[in-house]
Amino acid sequence: KKRENLEEQLASCIIRAELPGLVAYGGAQANYYTPRYYDGISSGATLKTGQPIITIPNMSELGVEVNIHESHVKKIELGQKAYITAESVPDMKLEGRITKVAVLPDSNASRYNPSLKVYPATIEIDGTHEFLKPGMSAKVEIIVKELQDVTYVPVQSIFVEESEHFVFLKTFGGYERRQVEVGMPHI
């Protein structure tokens, strides 16, 4: 009877995939919208009931997980456009959209730095790209606002004097001081 029990346990250790694909470890922050936190899977780790062990990611719907600092979270909205650059392929700029933003800050980030408040967010990448793999590092630019018919200059070229902003415009005779309006146009 004991042998049968052990054989049954051994048979239960075999995990069969329901679909073909790349097998990835489940683990830390698999879902930041639930109150549970699981440590990453590693050799000798103790597993908890319900903890994801392995997953097979859907490679046709890859996304990027980012942390939005609390000072910027009010500017972030679902559906906003973002540009993604994978560090392994820096010359390819991909497009995506924000699909999730956590309501509460990431409690795990504040464990190490109590003054740091970041909100996890997900950006889904448009299209399928063979070079992308789960776990890659990427740089993300979220487009908060797009302005048409505006001039932009390096911040170092703007001077301030008594709350007046100005630049120096190069002319044939030298430089001409020209007052400018900075920031978002008032519409």
When pLDDT is cut at 50, 70 and 90, the band that residue 12 belongs to is confident
Q: How far apart, in Å, are the Cα atoms of 145 and each of 159, 184, 185?
A: 25, 9, 12
Nearest partner of 120 among 133, 134, 109, judged by Cα:
109
How much is the pLDDT for 40?
66
Backbone phi, psi, residue 91, to 5°: -90, 0
When pLDDT is cut at 50, 70 and 90, the band that residue 32 belongs to is very low
- The secondary structure element, H or E, covering residue 6 is helix 2-12
pTM for the full model? Answer: 0.59
Can you list the positions of beta strands (E) in the chain?
Answer: 24-25, 54-55, 63-69, 81-86, 94-101, 118-125, 138-142, 159-161, 164-171, 174-179
| pLDDT tens track for 132-156 | 887 889 999 999 888 888 888 888 9
Would you say residue 29 has pLDDT above 60?
A: no
Give the three-class secondary structure for 69. strand
Nearest partner of 79 among 95, 67, 56, judged by Cα:
95
When pLDDT is cut at 50, 70 and 90, the band that residue 186 belongs to is low
Average pLDDT, the chain: 83
Would you say residue 30 has pLDDT above 60?
A: no
**What letter would DSSP give residue 53?**
-
Instruction: Report how far residue 68's alpha carbon sits from residue 121's, in angstroms, rounded to the nearest whole number.
Output: 7
Would you say residue 187 has pLDDT above 60?
A: no
For residue 173, what are its two tokens?
A: 């005779």
Instruction: Report how far residue 43's alpha carbon sits from residue 31's, in angstroms, rounded to the nearest whole number.
Output: 22
- What number of other Cβ atoms are within 10 A of residue 41's Cβ? 16
